[in-house]
Structure 1
Amino acid sequence: MITISLCMIVKNEEDVLARCLDSVKDIVDEINIVDTGSTDRTVEIAKKYTDRVFFFKWTGNFADARNESFKYATKDYIFFVDADDVLLEEDQLKLIELKKSLDPSVDSVSMFYDAGTDEYGNVTLRYRRNRLIKRERNFQWQGDCHNYLEVYGNIVNSDISITHKKIHHSTGRNLNIYQAKIDKGDIFSARDYFYYGNELKENGHYERAIESYNKNLELKSGWIEDKVYACINKADCYRFLGDTDNELKSLFQSFEYSKTPRSEACSRIGYNFQRKREYIPAIFWYEIATKSKPDSNQWSFTYPAYYTWYPHLQMCVCYYNLGDFQKSYEHNEKARSFRPHDERILQNKALLEEKLRIEVN
């Protein structure tokens, strides 16, 4: 059976650190925590779980801190999580089984990162990350902000999920890191432009976000999946700016890179037509969204709502406006299967049942 070193970087995580460590402490063989300047009870809490607490002066670069944390690992494999992540009980059991059965020739095991969940337990944002890596390979983190592990070799994909349960949101922190890169005159990669665009979008700087996404698309280099979402995210920016024409163009542009329509784009195209009261084409695109299935081996972002309840709820609205209350009701029920206590869906149910009762009578 392999042994595992948990490696974490933390700063002012007193509200969440114990919750995280409680979910992994009985699985890993060693806990290494690197503090980058906490002023709360983070270090005190960490020392209740391990005597391997270290300190590293923040350099403004997450990769520096993460690579520092990896230096302290002594076991066969390194496992990393952030303080606001947890392993749910079913994933704890899966990781225990993986630990017992993993072939030592494996260099890395990828796991799902469930970066968002709704109040009904539905995953809202999922992607893969190399999460359990062989220590002796000395894989390194790259990038200043949205960094990544440069991993190669024998990589296997697991069905284990790490669940993100954020309490606080660091508004503007990542933008400041990118601004420092700009001030230093650093040359941005295609990846930098994509993630800088995401930060600008999240902080409401839509015109600048569009510029950054376009710079990503202009470069031949870069991951094709980033380019797919550069188009989709750019479309969101145009929607927020009220530019429906360029919104639609950007969504169709995503097909140049994805080759087949993604539900994330199709649902947005449907909504574009729906807002213009063009319900027939809206339904067409929503139907395509419901028939697509996310690839479990896909490493890029997946937003399951666009494959499941969201297009059904919107088709409920479209069919209602077309006067087809039966189909409206059927799609509302499909949405309800994913969100059983959603007040909007329950209100639709009551309204449509009354409409259908009147129609029958």
Structure 2
Amino acid sequence: MFSVSYTEPVMKATSTPTICLNMIVKNESRVILRLLNTVVKLIDSYCICDTGSTDNTVSLIETFMTEHNIPGKIVFEPFQDFGYNRTHALNEAAKMPNQDYLLLMDADMYLTGEALKNPESFKKTLTKDCYHLCQGSPTYYYKNVRIVKNGKGYSYWGVTHEYVKTPEGTVYDAIDTDVLFIQDIGDGGAKTDKFERDIRLLTKGLEDNPNNDRYTFYLANSLRDAGRIVEAIEMFKKRVEIGGWIEEVWHSYYSMGKCYAILGEHEKAISAWIDGYNHYPNRIENLYEIINYYRLRGKNRSAYTFYVLAHESNRKWGASRDFLFLQKDVYDYKIDYELSIVGYYVNDSGIDLVKTCMKVLAYSHLPDNTASNVLSNYKFYTKKVSHEPNLLPAQPLDVLIRLTDGFNFDQVFVKSTPSIIQRENHLIINTRYVNYRIDDRGGYVNQENVITKNVISVIDISKPLWKVVQEFELKYDTSKDGRYVGLEDIRLFLNGTEILYNANRGMPDGSMKIEHGKISLDEESTKDSKWLELDSGNRQIEKNWVLFQASSPQEDKGTAVKCVYNWNPTFAVGNIDLSSSHVNVIAHKPVPYFFRYLRGSTNGVLIQGELWFICHAVSYEDRRYYYHIVVVVDPKTYTIKRYTPLFTFEGSHVEYTLGFIYVASVDHLLIGYSVYDKTTKYIELSRTFFEKDMIQV
């Protein structure tokens, strides 16, 4: 053993504890910098034991540490077994003065968490002897001792799958996963023959320590991972017979069941999983396997029966960080995903399947195919708001339905989605007419040109009996008309007393832009129209940009009108410079996972100090299915606060909305929408109708 680099750590003038990176390495040149780049701000020194690298691992470490002014040493000790070499690394670190804690890592890991943003504050929280961190992935992890006080006589026990052995009286604590988490990738330089190597080491370990519970358990795991399934089953049985720590006993039943399933012996698999539940009902990964097995075979009542058991266990105990090799995604969404299918056939307890589906969709690591399946099945559970009483009185509703009836357009045109705003005692509504149709498969049947005509209606609502006082076909700049003629999906917006609009504009070159401008009721025309452009550049096709204002122009520093141009992967907000066409990006805020499916429908409406938007999502199946959602946003911070479950207006395949108003006097929302782009409809609903089902972010 000798040191190839050593710089004495300097005593810090503050009382902040110091952290030394401590690990063993061998041929880790492919991954070592990935680790070092994540720990560099957290560590004050390093002590690394190389067990026989033949690549440039050592020089990479030295160069990195020198460039970042981090003192430390690398020592060499030939590999004997993992317990021996890791203990050697601990002992070498104990010789280094002024290093309070050791961070125990492997080269094929990396750190994430809030502690990396403010390392000094984190280090000041370290007061205990040992700290457990969770390692693995967001969907599968377990806790392990990864931060320990230096020079306390700790050692590692075990030839492989070793653990930190601590003196009696050691005080432990745990660090939350959002503070520090170890992403365990498992692609290190010593993994090429890992399973067979571990089998050799563990077999030798059992020769020296017969019936050792830990060696037996990990030998069974290694046999399974090496594909030696029959041998693994026998070793798991032996581990169950030894008894002891319930986590390893339960996991042996669980793994035994999975081994039987691989062999196609499903009755034995289910028997093993049930035995695991009988021994330890706290965990549900085994029950999930049973649920999935029965659901895939159409035995939905059996699947539902085991779901009830799993749901109760999950409700009672949850996903404890003390669980060994926790399959966290089972607790977070997988059993609920099973219910989202099984519940269509059997739901004796009357579980709210809308909430179940929304919970699954909100899971941050949901596979795309699972999300698509949930959206596809959601139509069987979704709420149809048209089934609620329409709170709009009969005469005003009749006025809205009859809007534009006096216009004698060619019969090829049909009324479609309206947009609506209120200016004092008047409603101003744009009704879109289109010359295309949507066929039975949800596809568009177009004419030679795709033409949109827009009719503006002004309605006096100052009296109980509403009255149309102005109505005209909106004139616009026709110079950019080509195959696409007219302004598509006009969204009206009130800026003070000015009427603004956004519209999709198909261009002659095949692109689609967002046209923004004003509407003059006197001139019956658009004016000051321009194409909105992001400073970072636009995409070839831009659609569904929606407008909003904060609570007052003063709070917006003179630029009151803003737009949302993306709902995923972030909630993206820009300031519109009304004197030009530029949109300056001012915010990117995180959103729930399923917002990747959302697109803007309506402009934002201020309701009781919050911004309310209606968005839409489309499920692409044999045809398109539209869903809608109300999203509530903080107008000052632009953070998503809550949202409704997805809903439909009538349960039709293609529905769309472009606007709503808030009727503050009665606390109602008046919404305009279309079905199949060939009807124009309105419904008034209580704000509390949406509020009562809101999901908090």
Task: Tell me the TM-score range normalised by the shorter chain.
Answer: 0.7 to 0.9
Instruction: State whether residues 36 and 56 of structure 1, in contact with CA within 8 Å, keep that contact through their aligned partners in structure 2.
Output: yes
1:343 correspondence with 2:369 = yes
Residues in 2 aligned to 1:34 and 1:199: alpha-carbon distance in whole angstroms: 26
CA-CA distance at 1:148 after TM superposition: 0.5
Q: Distance in 2 between matches of 1:261 and 1:284?
A: 17
- 1:195 maps to which of 210, 214, 218: 218
Q: Which moved more, 1:229-238 or 1:129-138?
A: 129-138
| SS of structure 2 residue aligned to 1:27 | coil
- Deviation of residue 277 (structure 1)? 2.4
- Alignment match, 2:132: 110
Aligned to 1:119: none
| Distance in structure 2 (CA, Å) of the matches to 1:2 and 1:228 | 39
Match for residue 132 of structure 1 among 147, 152, 157:
147
Cα distance between partner residues in 1 of 2:204 and 2:34: 38
**Distance of 2:366 and 2:321 partners within structure 1:** 29
Q: Which moved more, 1:172-181 or 1:42-51?
A: 172-181
Structure 2 CA distance for partners of 1:335 and 1:67, relative to 1, 3 Å: same
Does structure 1 residue 334 correspond to structure 2 residue 354?
no
Three-state SS of the structure 2 residue aligned to 1:136 is coil
Q: Cα distance, 1:69 vs. partner?
A: 1.1
Q: Percent identity between the aligned chains?
A: 24
The aligned residue for residue 299 of structure 2 is 278
Mean alpha-carbon deviation: is it higher for 30-39 or for 206-215? Answer: 30-39
Query: How far off is 1:53 after superposition?
Result: 1.5
Say if 1:347 and 1:188 are closer, same or farther in 2 by CA, change over 3 A: same
Specify which structure has the higher proportion of helix: 1
Q: Residues 89, 254 of structure 1: CA spacing in aligned structure 2 closer, same or farther, 3 A cutoff?
A: closer
Match of 2:255 among 220, 225, 233: 233
Higher RCO structure (Cα 8 Å, ≥6 apart): 1
**3-state SS of the aligned residue for 2:139?**
strand
Shift of 1:256: 4.0
Determine the structure 1 residue equivalent to 2:272. 250
Find the aligned partners of 1:101 and 1:349 in 2 and give their Cα distance.
44
Gaps of 5+ in 2: 1-15, 66-70, 383-624, 626-647, 653-697
Tell me how large the CA RMSD over aligned residues is. 2.9
- For the Cα contact (< 8 Å) 2:139–2:329, is it kept in 1? yes
TM-score by length of 1: 0.86
Q: Who is 2:341 aligned against?
A: 317
Question: Bigger shift: 282-291 or 13-22?
Answer: 282-291
Name the counterpart of 1:166.
Answer: 186
Distance 1:237 1:276, change over 3 A: same
- Cα contact 2:25–2:107 (8 A) shared by 1: yes
> Which of 175, 186, 200 lines up with 1:179 in the alignment?
200
Q: Say whether residues 1:20 and 2:20 are aligned partners.
A: no
CA change 1:328–1:9 in 2 (3 A) is same
- Residue aligned with 2:183, SS: strand
User: Aligned partners of 2:72 and 2:218: how far apart in 1?
Assistant: 36
> Which one has a larger percent strand, Structure 1 or Structure 2?
2
Matched, 1:302 2:326: yes
Length-normalised TM-score, structure 2:
0.46
Structure-2 residue corresponding to 1:353: 379
- Is 228-237 or 168-177 further displaced after alignment? 168-177
Greater C-alpha Rg: 2
Distance in 2 (alpha carbons) for counterparts of 1:243 and 1:328: 33
Deviation at 1:323, TM superposition (A): 11
Query: Whole-Å Cα distance in 1 between the matches of residues 133 and 191 of structure 2?
Result: 25
Structure 1 stretch displaced more, 209-218 or 336-345: 336-345
Query: Does structure 1 retain, via aligned residues, the 8 Å contact 2:115–2:122?
Result: no
Corresponding position: 1:97 with 2:118: no
- 2:90 is matched with 70
Q: Tell me, yes or no, if structure 1 residue 5 matches structure 2 residue 2.
A: no
* Residues 236 and 253, structure 2, Cα contact 8 Å, conserved in 1: yes
Q: CA deviation at 1:297?
A: 4.7
CA distance, structure 2, for counterparts of residue 111 and residue 89 of structure 1: 11
Secondary structure in structure 2 of the residue aligned to 1:65: helix
| Separation of aligned partners in 1, 2:58 and 2:73 | 11
Corresponding residue SS for 2:325: coil
Deviation at 1:90, TM superposition (A): 1.7
- After TM superposition, give the deviation of residue 93 of structure 1 in Å: 4.0
Match of 2:47 in 1: 32
Deviation, 1:281, is 2.3
Quick one: which amino acid aligns to residue 283 of structure 2? R
271-280 vs 346-355, which deviates more? Answer: 346-355
Q: What's the secondary structure of 2:107's corresponding residue?
A: coil
Q: Check 1:78–1:323 CA distance in 2 against 1; reply closer, same or farther (3 A cut).
A: closer
Unaligned runs of 5+ in 1: 117-122
Corresponding letter in the other structure for 1:156 = D
Q: Distance in 1 between matches of 2:297 and 2:277?
A: 22
- Which piece of structure 1 moves more, 152-161 or 334-343? 334-343
In structure 2, the residue matched to 1:157 is 174
For the 8 Å contact 1:329–1:353, the answer to whether it is kept is no
Shift in Å, 1:25: 1.9
Specify which of 65, 76, 80 is matched with residue 104 of structure 2.
Answer: 80
In structure 1, distance between residues paired with 2:380 and 2:295: 24
SS of 1:72's equivalent in the other structure is helix
Determine the C-alpha separation between the residues in 2 that align with 1:263 and 1:323. 20
Conserved 8 A contact 1:289-1:306: no
CA-to-aligned-CA distance 1:58-100 (integer Å, 9 cap, x gap): 12x1111111111221222221111111111424247643311
Does the C-alpha gap of structure 1 residues 91 and 290 become closer, same or farther in structure 2, counting only changes over 3 Å?
farther
CA distance 1:107–1:89, change in 2 (3 Å) = closer
Give, in whole Å, the separation in 2 of the partners of 1:299 and 1:334: 23
The answer to whether the 8 A contact 1:266-1:285 is kept is: yes
